[in-house]
A and B are shown apart, each in its own frame.
Chain A
Amino acid sequence: MQYYLDLLSFGPEGWGDELLAGALVTISIALATLPFGLALGLAIAVAKRSRSWTLRTFATLYTTIFRGVPELLTLYIIYFGVQVLAQRLWSAVGLSGNFDMSPFLAGMVALGVVLAAFSAEVWLGALNAIQKGQREAAAALGLTKWQAFRLVVFPQLIRVALPGLGNNWMVLLKETSLVSVITLQDTMFIATRANVATKEPFLFFGAAALIYLFFSVISTWGFDRLEGRANRGYARAGASR
């Protein structure tokens, strides 16, 4: 027992501090991806409702592709593909040397475009849930289209979209484990390395599982609070939540 505790302890002998650093990388890549993915998703959702045929087709194509291709494959295509393309561009411009894409950036882009595809569906559902009268009333008050979106539509959008976006976040959190295959030093990567060094796979993958579980449980709790807050104007006395 003492042996296992030593392995998980902080300090040069144990892997505790490394695992903690990995957990930080996991949560930072998830948090870094979130705003980018959600914003792109909202843009795609708006494009899906656009009057222009080109925009609509592009948006539909985008969501179909990134929702249908395994995340692991998307990650590989972006990590290797962008590297090759950038390298060619690099050489074409006449610069010498190599172009290296950081795994963090590749992971962020890959997870972000997938998140955008999934969150676009959530945004779209929420956009459709907002009555036309809201926009008409805003127009009647003399608000521009952008003002109407920012001041009238968006605040209501968040409330409707929150449960779906919460699901998106949970999926994203778990998907970050994939970036370990492109050598980003997240929880999963550290656990794999610890396993190689100590030959204690059950201990370290178990520890990794508990780290992810911890983040998931915290997120569930956080989103429950957020939803409660977003719905505070709607809750009725004696309602179930």
Chain B
Amino acid sequence: MTWCEYPGAWIGLEVFQNYGCRMASGLGLTLQLVAISFGLGIIIGLTLAVLRLRGPKPVRMILHGYMTFFRGTPLLVQLFLIYYGLGSFRPFWQEVGLWWFFRDPLYCCLLAFTINTAAYQAEIFRGALQSLPHGQAEAARALGMRPFAIFLRVEMPQAMIVALRPLGNELIVMIKASALASLVTLFDLMGATRLAFARSFDLSIYVVAALIYLALVEIIRRVWDGLETRLTRHLALR
């Protein structure tokens, strides 16, 4: 018996024992999907937020359209649009040598999750940057700081504290949304659970999966609470 069969054996649930290993690797895939897309989303989202606020007008308008589209349509539609939709232009992708990317549901999933969360995170960062009082940047300029230094040393640290809580919520939303990966043939935690159910017809496996997701979300919530207390300890807010 390998380690991933123990939890199932321990609580005496046969399905969970039989599919424990698949669910463990599914959990791994879920974590990977979320970590990569959320991480890339932070970088892209931050860039987009700055461009949205300070870029030239045409760029601002395009970004407004991008954010409206990706925040106004379901992630499931976006995922299908990328995996089935873009995937249907096979000759074109082969021509430009990107077929390996759009052929693979994993990459399509990562792409869909990343641009989706980037749109939401861009909105979070935009709100955070806008919430800062003007005086902060003005004071920094009066001190002779360069624009980039002002952004990095004065605006970012303060904006990040404002953005922290919504970012935590977005991470939780992403964990839950990653279950959609199972609909494009990926075996993430949800996919493994669906497989286990389809083969065993034992509903309790869904409850086990729910508890795992719940634990994941609860851990993140706790970590985020700790992070927030630590990062705001210099503020007299609480």
Residues of A within 8 A of B (CB): 64-65, 67-74, 76-77, 80-81, 84, 170, 174-178, 180-181, 188, 191-192, 195, 199-202, 205-206, 208-209, 212-213, 216-217
Given A205-B81, A213-B72, 4 more A-B residue pairs with CB atoms under 8 Å apart are A80-B197, A188-B80, A191-B80, A216-B71
Partner of B87, one of A73, A180, A201: A201
List the B side residues contacting A178 at CB < 8 Å. 74, 76
User: Is B179 within 8 A of A73, CB to CB?
Assistant: yes
A213 touches B207 (CB 8 A): no
Report chain B residues within 8 Å CB of A208.
77
Prevailing SS type, chain B contact patch: helix
B209 in complex: contacting residue of A73, A174, A201, A206, CB < 8 Å: A73
Beyond A181-B183, A205-B85, A209-B81, whether A70 also contacts B206 by CB under 8 A is: no
Which residues of B does A touch, CB under 8 Å?
68-69, 71-78, 80-81, 84-89, 172, 175-180, 182-183, 190, 193-194, 197, 203, 206-207, 209-210, 213-214, 217-218
Cβ contact within 8 Å between A71 and B75:
no
B88 engages A68 (CB within 8 Å): no
Q: How far is the CB of A111 from chain B (nearest CB, A)?
A: 12
User: Can you list 14 A-B pairs with a CB-CB distance of less than 8 A?
Assistant: A64-B214, A64-B218, A68-B218, A70-B175, A71-B176, A72-B179, A72-B183, A177-B74, A177-B76, A195-B84, A201-B84, A202-B81, A209-B78, A213-B68
Q: A70-B179, A71-B176 are in contact. Are A174 and B210 (CB under 8 A)?
A: no
The listed residue with most B CB atoms (<10 A of its CB), out of A64, A195, A212, is A212
* B residues less than 8 Å from A80 (CB atoms): 197, 203, 206
Bound-state CA distance A51–B213 (Å) is 31
| Chain A positions within 8 Å of B197 at CB level | 76, 80
B213 touches A188 (CB 8 A): no
Cβ B88 vs Cβ A174 within 8 A? no
Residues of B within 8 A of A170 (CB): 72
With a cutoff of 8 Å between Cβ atoms, the chain A residues found around residue B175 in the complex are: 70
In the complex formed, the residue of B with least CB distance to A192 is: B80
Residues of A within 8 A of B87 (CB): 201
Q: Is the CB of B214 within 8 A of A69?
A: yes
Docked Cα-Cα span, A208 to B75, in Å, equals 12
Given contacts A72-B190, A202-B89, contact A77 B80 (CB under 8 A): no
Which of chain A's residues have a CB closer than 8 A to the CB of B69? Answer: 209, 213
User: How far does the alpha carbon of A171 sit from the alpha carbon of B192 in the complex, in Å?
Assistant: 26
Contact between B84 and A70 (Cβ–Cβ < 8 Å)?
no
Q: Do the beta carbons of B73 and A209 come within 8 Å of each other? A: yes
Contact indicator A205/B74 (Cβ below 8 Å):
no
For A81, the closest partner residue in chain B by CB is B203
Asked whether A174 and B218 contact (CB < 8 A) given A70-B176, A73-B213, A202-B85, the answer is no
Distance between B177 CB and nearest chain A CB, rounded to angstroms = 7
A205 touching B213 by the CB < 8 A rule? no
How distant is the Cα of A5 from the Cα of B175 in the complex, in angstroms?
A: 38
A188 in contact with B74 given A71-B176, A201-B85, A201-B87 (CB within 8 Å)? yes
Chain A residues with Cβ below 8 Å from B81 are 201-202, 205-206, 209
Q: In the complex the two chains form, is A205's CB within 8 Å of B89's CB?
A: no
Residue of B nearest to A74 (CB): B210
